[in-house]
Structure 1
Amino acid sequence: MFRLASILTVAFTAAAYAEDVPSTQPGDREYSPYPRQDFPNQVYFGDTHLHTSYSADAGMIGNVLGPDEAYRFAKGEVVTSSTGVEARLRRPLDFLVIADHAENLGLAPLLSAKDATLLSTEFGQQLNAAVEAGDPVGAWSIWSQAKSTGTDPLADYQEIYQTAWSNITSAAEVHNQPGLFTALIGFEWTSNPQRNNLHRNVIFNGGKEGADKIIPFSNFDSFDPEDLWAWMEQTEETTGQKLLAIPHNGNLSNGLMFDEVRLSGEPFDVEYFKQRAKWEPIYEITQMKGDGEAHPMLSPDDEFADFETWDKGQLGPEPKTPEMLPREYARAALRRGLGYEAETGTNPFKFGVIGSTDAHTSLSTVGEDNFFGKVAAVEPTADPIRFEEVVGGIGGDESVAQYAWQTSASGLAAVWARENTREAIWDAFARKEVYATTGPHMRVRVFAGYEFDVTDLPRADFAAYGYENGVPMGADLPADSDGRSPRFLIRALRDPDGANLDRIQIVKGWLSSDGTTSERVYDVACGGRELVNAACDGPVGNTVDVENASWTNDIGQAILAGYWEDPNFDPTQNAFYYVRVLAIPTPRWTAYDAKVFGTEIPDEAPRSIQERAYTSPIWYTPEG
């Protein structure tokens, strides 16, 4: 008791006379090392692309869960899905963007609520009559036909969209808990010229008060990304907030996402390059409608390029042709961006990368053993629709059809930041210090510099040293005055509840003096094998038991670290480098379904998968 009283007396005395007592610290030294530390020291996982019943192509086809249920699910609560199945995440998310389609925003829930303004319109009355008659398919058909005209049937009733938007932003305010969970406000602009995918998710850095000053920009306003960017610039002035846009699914754009001309067909110019680089700092590289990192035809020497590939066509019936592929995949776009920068000083394709879901179920589920599908109709069930529903190439023949079994249980956005707040996470997107995973909560860090050495890998102050002596993912590495080769420090940690790691790789792209670009994939660290001539000595193996949908961590390693110096560096060449981390094989969601429901997996469907992470690149630009 005497001891506690003495401590309290000292504490109160120190507080009372703190301003009068001089410091007794020797010189400028202080004991606590962290008060002035300001580099990003936490990784947060989230989804920037989730649809609720407020998206017409979700709410009109069976999704009855709104923003409130979506947030509660993301925060770890048990939620009953639209088909009556209890669902829960193994581990809650840290942040979420509800990115409902701007086109006819809130149509289904407002119809269900008998919104007076909606029912005063002829369009609303037609939809309501079909619903009242017990014909939801008919209601869907009415909406779909109206949308296909390209003219908004509710254009004169903007208050309908204002009501829906206000409901969405209100839910974000209720669920946003700075430091614990971040509800970023956003929407999806669903540009779809000739049914080619040019979609973008638009994200605000602030709250409801500013966001409610606008109504989301839709494809009824324009199909052209340049018009979206102009709207975003005006919206920043109107709302006092910052905005950015995240493109996705270039693999379904039939060559338009990373085209060589404007959407209008006019040639690029420097102003276009600057606007694209400004408004679109990151790209959604992996999600449910396929992986967009690379394609085996574009990267024939990359044995892991053919991953969850959707390459038959677009969202509609138009088939894809081989010459479209270079304008659809992230790695090819990053390569072409090097040439643009060398020629004009500006790189329109200097983007970081994230993953997200594009789920239309209000449930952000990316676990292979907990996959609730793309839309409500294909939530977990023994019904063949779970595998057989056509979800891409809709309206076309077998040559363009993409089936539900091809849907990926992917992905997540990983963000390096100091705190879990709207501002900190948005700023990480803007500076590209982010990475993508196909679902697992892998932790990945990479630094590039000229002073690093292999002995720096085990440092206790790995991050602090990396920031002090190099640059992180998403950054530019200045040229070295002595022309030295870049050196990289990489650490990767498996998902705590997931599979061991197979390998760490660095993907390099560079621009030669003749204007051509090249690429190469280097293995940097291998789980359980030796590294021989920049390649792992054989495959990692496969412990997957498909019949039991099980696997073991007897292969690979939980933690991998790698030091790498570019052996073919030319200081005169523009280049980029990004890290790809592969996990050991695990059962795919199709295998879990077969075990649970006793369903037969289609012959062509994968039974196992190697989950992965992709970091944002680090770019090297020569002096001058």
Structure 2
Amino acid sequence: DAGNGCDVLTIAHNTNLSEGIYFEDKMANGEPFTAEYVEARNAMEPVIEIYQHKGDSECLPGTATADELCGFEALPFSNLATTNQERITPPDPKGFLRQAYGEGMKFEASLGTNPFQYGITAATDSHISAPGFVAEDDFKGHGGAGQPNRFLPPPQGFPDVEYLSPGGLTAVWAEENAREAIFSAIRRKETFGTSGPRIVVRMFGGWEYASDLCNAEDLAAQGDAGGVPMGGTLSQQPGSSAPMFVVSAKQDPMGAPLQRIQIVKGWLDGNDYEVEVYDIAGNPDNGASVDLDTCEAEGDGAADLCQMWQDPKFDPAQRAYYYARVLENPTCRWTTWQCSTAEYDCNDWDYDECKALNDDLKSNYTCDCCDPAVGLNEAVCASVDCSDLGVLPEVEERCCHQVEPSIQERAWTSPIWYQPPS
């Protein structure tokens, strides 16, 4: 609008620590959304971070729209202040993207436009000018979040707060590596995010695709010609068929094999918001695992996966979205990598000695690899009952907020949307 030839857009920051404020149902002045405001917001803010250094913003475990994989890198905090203090405060369900997608469809039904129709990105949130520094097996901390004992080598110290992670990466399907092409791709939301690995994902949706599209050398060209890519909105239903989707994924050449592809569908049934997750390719029971002592991976996986899928429960009268989630085989988390390399031993571990080290350093954070929060001290945590945190000794309470020692890295595509005829 300034007429100076400059282009600008914004990328919404991680929302899991926003206490639900980010997805409030009103404008900054406190007034209800207007269609004009929502259209301006969509134009300036087309995409959002689903994952970064401070955890996952996809979905919150224990909520109505959650699935069994929503616990991935879940922070036990509601805002940034409590994260820095390591003061456990439950996250607000309204701060997660899957919840916002449902609320956005409800607004669309009344306003004619969706304030939360975001595409997907991911990032490190690094404060050390290293945006691609995301490897779990070589994590040296992200600057501004380091802790007082970060200069001590494991098993005594860690380079960062145990709940945080190396962060993720954004991929953009642009015609060329040029600013204008990249901006255009972000505006049309042809983007996906990963939790760090360089997984490559394509997703297209349409009404009439060839059943053997996965075998086509020009899959992307046919996907575009017959429908829309990730981030797009399906055209109106030409007949009575359900929409078809094709998802193709290739593993990071330096990473773990792929375990499976899922499609996450959300829809409105009247004013009720429903979510279902479908495994469409690969095998969740492929037997893959990781040795937590050595971080050696075991079991089979796939270098690439591709699958056509048609919605078995499609209702043309219901608003809906579909996004793909691609999962790797299990691997060690960064905390486990560091402890494995340090050859930690918890047999004679003493929490009082551990805590004394932190007190000397004026640190509220993890003191060593055997701190229950790191998830490796099975002897301390095996019989802990987390149903009543108020009566547990401090050392046992830390068992109830531990990080997972192994993780399944992943990628998330921007959703493809369906809007019923008005």
Paired position in structure 2 for 1:519: 275
Give the superposition deviation at 1:587.
1.1
Asked whether the 8 Å contact 1:372–1:380 carries over to 2, the reply is no
Asked whether the 8 Å contact 1:355–1:437 carries over to 2, the reply is yes
Unaligned runs of 5+ in 1: 1-235, 390-403, 528-535
What amino acid maps onto 1:312 in structure 2?
F
Q: Does 1:262 align with 2:27?
A: yes
Paired position in structure 1 for 2:301: 556
What amino acid maps onto 1:613 in structure 2?
A
CA offsets per residue over residues 217-267 of structure 1, 9 Å max, x none? xxxxxxxxxxxxxxxxxxx51642111111112111111011122344322
Instruction: Quote the Cα distance in structure 1 between the aligned partners of 2:4 and 2:138.
Output: 39
Q: Which of 114, 128, 141 matches 1:361?
A: 128
Query: Structure 2 matches for 1:3-402, cutoff 5 A?
Result: 236-237=1-2, 239-299=4-64, 302-317=67-82, 325-364=92-131, 365-375=133-143, 377=146, 381-382=152-153, 386-387=157-158
Give the superposition deviation at 1:350.
0.8
Give the match's secondary structure for 2:322.
strand
Q: Does 1:543 align with 2:289?
A: yes
Instruction: Quote the Cα distance in structure 1 between the aligned partners of 2:249 and 2:36.
Output: 38
Higher relative contact order (CA 8 A, sep 6+): 2
Instruction: Quote the Cα distance in structure 1 between the aligned partners of 2:151 and 2:330.
Output: 23
What amino acid maps onto 1:551 in structure 2?
A
Instruction: Quote the Cα distance in structure 2 between the aligned partners of 1:294 and 1:419.
Output: 33
The number of residue pairs the alignment matches comes to 362
Give the superposition deviation at 1:320.
8.7
Paired position in structure 2 for 1:608: 406
Give the superposition deviation at 1:593.
0.8
Change (3 A) 1:445 1:437: same
Q: Which of 475, 483, 493 matches 2:240?
A: 483
Q: Does 1:473 align with 2:242?
A: no
Instruction: Quote the Cα distance in structure 2 between the aligned partners of 1:541 and 1:387.
Output: 31
Change (3 A) 1:349 1:545: same
Asked whether the 8 Å contact 1:453–1:487 carries over to 2, the reply is no
Give the match's secondary structure for 2:109.
helix
Instruction: Quote the Cα distance in structure 2 between the aligned partners of 1:542 and 1:517.
Output: 34
Q: TM-score, normalised by structure 2?
A: 0.80
Give the superposition deviation at 1:317.
4.2
Instruction: Quote the Cα distance in structure 2 between the aligned partners of 1:479 and 1:440.
Output: 36
Q: Does 1:427 align with 2:184?
A: yes
Paired position in structure 2 for 1:440: 197
Instruction: Quote the Cα distance in structure 2 between the aligned partners of 1:320 and 1:346.
Output: 37
Paired position in structure 1 for 2:324: 579
Paired position in structure 1 for 2:333: 588
Give the superposition deviation at 1:557.
1.1
Asked whether the 8 Å contact 2:205–2:229 carries over to 1, the reply is yes
Instruction: Quote the Cα distance in structure 1 between the aligned partners of 2:165 and 2:127.
Output: 13
CA offsets per residue over residues 575-608 of structure 1, 9 Å max, x none? 1000000100011111211133345253223221
Asked whether the 8 Å contact 1:363–1:372 carries over to 2, the reply is no
Worse overlay, 271-280 or 503-512: 271-280
Instruction: Quote the Cα distance in structure 2 between the aligned partners of 1:301 and 1:274.
Output: 29
Larger Rg: 1
Q: Does 1:597 align with 2:363?
A: no
Give the match's secondary structure for 2:309.
strand
Instruction: Quote the Cα distance in structure 1 between the aligned partners of 2:403 and 2:81.
Output: 22
Asked whether the 8 Å contact 1:258–1:333 carries over to 2, the reply is yes
Instruction: Quote the Cα distance in structure 2 between the aligned partners of 1:243 and 1:327.
Output: 28
Change (3 A) 1:420 1:623: same
Give the superposition deviation at 1:372.
2.1
Instruction: Quote the Cα distance in structure 2 between the aligned partners of 1:436 and 1:411.
Output: 7
What amino acid maps onto 1:449 in structure 2?
G
What amino acid maps onto 1:524 in structure 2?
I
Note the aligned Cα RMSD (angstroms): 2.2
Q: TM-score, normalised by structure 1?
A: 0.55
CA offsets per residue over residues 462-489 of structure 1, 9 Å max, x none? 1111111111000010121313210011
Asked whether the 8 Å contact 2:59–2:65 carries over to 1, the reply is no
Percent identity (aligned): 41
Give the superposition deviation at 1:373.
1.4
Q: Does 1:507 align with 2:305?
A: no
Give the superposition deviation at 1:311.
3.8
What amino acid maps onto 1:294 in structure 2?
C
Instruction: Quote the Cα distance in structure 1 between the aligned partners of 2:109 and 2:99.
Output: 16
Instruction: Quote the Cα distance in structure 2 between the aligned partners of 1:563 and 1:491.
Output: 9
Give the superposition deviation at 1:547.
1.6
Change (3 A) 1:386 1:294: farther
Give the match's secondary structure for 1:507.
strand
Instruction: Quote the Cα distance in structure 2 between the aligned partners of 1:276 and 1:384.
Output: 47
Instruction: Quote the Cα distance in structure 1 between the aligned partners of 2:116 and 2:72.
Output: 22
Give the match's secondary structure for 1:336.
helix
Instruction: Quote the Cα distance in structure 2 between the aligned partners of 1:380 and 1:621.
Output: 53
Change (3 A) 1:472 1:479: same
What amino acid maps onto 2:371 in structure 1?
P
Instruction: Quote the Cα distance in structure 1 between the aligned partners of 2:151 and 2:235.
Output: 50
Give the superposition deviation at 1:549.
2.3
